[in-house]
A and B are shown apart, each in its own frame.
Chain A
Amino acid sequence: MDLGIFIFQTLIKILLVLLIFSALAGFTTYIERKVLAFMQRRLGPMYVGPFGLLQILADGIKLFTKEDIIPTNAIKPIFKVAPVILPVSAFVAFTGVPILPDIQIGDTTFQFLIVDSDVGVLFVLGVMAVGMFSPLLAGIASSNKWSLLGGARTAIQLLSFEVVTGLSILAPLMLVGSLNLIDINNYQIEHGWLIWQQPIAFVLFLIAGYAETNRTPFDLLEHEAEVVSGYATEYSGMRWGLFFIGEYVNMYIVSFLVVLIFLGGFGEGTLLDGLCYLAKVLFFIFLFLWTRAAWPHVRPDQLMWLTWKVLMPLAVINIVVTGLLVI
């Protein structure tokens, strides 16, 4: 392919991903508030626009026009740059996720995947994990004890859950024999969804995904009841907003990954399959909100207990059993 066309296409795709998912991140905050409200017998935002739909716009205007406060004792360069890391890493990770199957128009195939790498899964998970530096640095640089505690909890979470993420995904990868997300998807066309072969890995990966995206029941980093707002205590305006765009984009990545690896992905790539794919992803987004409404937070010590004493041994046993069966 001509290099110019390739660069142009890639730029367009990057722009699309950036625009669609920063808009979706905003829209998901609205959906989250509505779903949580309905589950708690409330109505949620109702005043701005029909059914409160324009609330996102109002929140956006508020975030952009709010004063950007930097505390006197904060380490200024790190404090300023920390919120950028999370959305950047999230969006970069998204380049490895096929958000839609390839579309055939005439003779040309339009590929939605930006980086078709042979180490797709590793790339996405690795870049996503870089985002954890954002709360860590923010917490350390804020010169606030709540922020510092939030930052320390980031370290705990990183140490605990990256292990489970990696180990849980190892077993299905052994079955597939490839790290390419498209290969994983194609493997499931022949062999059926991986969730039936690897139910334990599915549950472990989902739990680890919740911890990676700081969602309830593992949102220790900004536990309102314990550490005010955790690492984000000192942030205001759009810097605070960036953390949240990053968090919601990460939610989408985890949902896409779970569907791609365990639930058959987009299958053969027909229109119906594509729609099913998006529906499955949206179900996992809903699951994020659903658990937030239903379940309490866990304490940091419970989190470490859960990871090191329950989930990691389970993941290792799963790998050993899978390995024996593969041989």
Chain B
Amino acid sequence: MNKEVIKGSQNYIPVEIEDYPTTGWQKFKQVVRRSLGKELFVGLWVVLREMLKFNIHTVQYPEEVLPLPSRYRAVHKLLRLLESGNERCIGCGLCEKICIADCIRMETKEENGRKVVSEYSINLGRCIFCGYCAEVCPELAIVHGSRYENASEQRAHFVLKDDMLTPIDFLKEQKEFDGFGAVSPNADKLIKKTPLAY
């Protein structure tokens, strides 16, 4: 049948498909091979081998959590400057403008000659997690965090300014955002060439 060698560096394995039996004798041989030969007992052996190896793939979710790639777009965070601990947000309003779901609102006021953001909220009921706000932000202040467990009693949870802003005590644990288009750390390994036989 179709046993073309697929070119390229990737390890695709072509499946071998035997010809279907046409005569009675061939059908009989197939039945014997399947019931007495490899197929039934190989199946038994494979599952037993997996049981003995005990190579369990289960992630026991609430206790164990898989790491998220840096491009993941979960609930937003507002970051602080690492040196001074001041809020990065300068209240420019670009995120509010670019938001296509129209869900970001901010209030600003003047304090000691500086523009200060007093209120900042994202309506998660409308947010489509497109990531434009994080992309447009000139100060890398609003970013997407990795908080995807957002079941809550109220829609407004997580998304008021106090919820999103890094608490000043946890400044050291604040992780820098890799950038909106950042690839995951193991991206090189995951890449495969498309199998095209040029």
Which positions in A face B, CB cutoff 8 Å?
A: 35, 38-43, 46, 290-291, 293-295
Separation of A43 and B57 alpha carbons in the complex (Å): 8
Q: How far is the CB of A208 from chain B (nearest CB, A)?
A: 16
- Answer whether residue B84 sits at the interface, using C-beta atoms and an 8 A cutoff: no
Q: What residue in chain A is nearest B41 (Cβ atoms)?
A: A294
Known: A40-B50, A41-B57, A43-B58. 5 other contacts (CB 8 A): A39-B47, A43-B60, A293-B47, A294-B43, A294-B47
Interface bits B24-46 vs A (CB < 8 Å: 1, else 0): 00000000000000001001101
**How many cross-chain pairs have Cβ atoms below 8 Å apart between A and B?**
35
- Answer whether residue B54 sits at the interface, using C-beta atoms and an 8 A cutoff: yes
Q: Which of B44, B46, B50, B51 contacts A291 (CB under 8 A)?
A: B44
Whether A290 and B58, one on each chain, are in contact in the complex, defined by CB atoms closer than 8 angstroms, is: no
- Most B Cβ at <10 Å: residue of A35, A42, A294: A294
Provide the residues of chain A in CB contact with B60, threshold 8 Å.
Answer: 43, 46
Report 26 cross-chain contacts, Cβ distance below 8 Å, ordered by A residue: A38-B51, A38-B54, A38-B56, A39-B48, A39-B50, A39-B51, A41-B50, A41-B55, A41-B57, A41-B58, A42-B56, A42-B57, A43-B58, A46-B60, A290-B44, A290-B47, A290-B48, A291-B44, A293-B47, A294-B43, A294-B44, A294-B46, A294-B47, A295-B40, A295-B43, A295-B44
Q: What residue in chain A is nearest B39 (Cβ atoms)?
A: A295
Q: How many residues of B contact A (CB 8 A)?
A: 14
Provide the residues of chain B in CB contact with A41, threshold 8 Å.
Answer: 50, 55-58
Provide the residues of chain B in CB contact with A46, threshold 8 Å.
Answer: 60
Provide the residues of chain A in CB contact with B50, threshold 8 Å.
Answer: 38-41
Provide the residues of chain B in CB contact with A43, threshold 8 Å.
Answer: 56, 58, 60
Separation of A43 and B46 alpha carbons in the complex (Å): 17
Q: How far is the CB of B150 from chain A (nearest CB, A)?
A: 23
- By Cβ-Cβ distance, the 10 closest A-B pairs, closest first, are A39-B47, A294-B43, A43-B58, A38-B51, A293-B47, A294-B47, A41-B57, A39-B51, A294-B44, A42-B58
Q: What residue in chain A is nearest B44 (Cβ atoms)?
A: A294
Provide the residues of chain A in CB contact with B40, threshold 8 Å.
Answer: 295
Q: How far is the CB of B64 from chain A (nearest CB, A)?
A: 11
Provide the residues of chain B in CB contact with A290, threshold 8 Å.
Answer: 44, 47-48
Provide the residues of chain B in CB contact with A39, threshold 8 Å.
Answer: 47-48, 50-51
Provide the residues of chain B in CB contact with A42, threshold 8 Å.
Answer: 56-58
Separation of A293 and B48 alpha carbons in the complex (Å): 9
Provide the residues of chain A in CB contact with B48, threshold 8 Å.
Answer: 39, 290
Separation of A290 and B51 alpha carbons in the complex (Å): 10
Provide the residues of chain B in CB contact with A293, threshold 8 Å.
Answer: 47
Q: How far is the CB of B40 from chain A (nearest CB, A)?
A: 7
Provide the residues of chain B in CB contact with A291, threshold 8 Å.
Answer: 44
Q: What residue in chain A is nearest B49 (Cβ atoms)?
A: A39
Q: What residue in chain A is nearest B45 (Cβ atoms)?
A: A294
Q: How far is the CB of B184 from chain A (nearest CB, A)?
A: 24
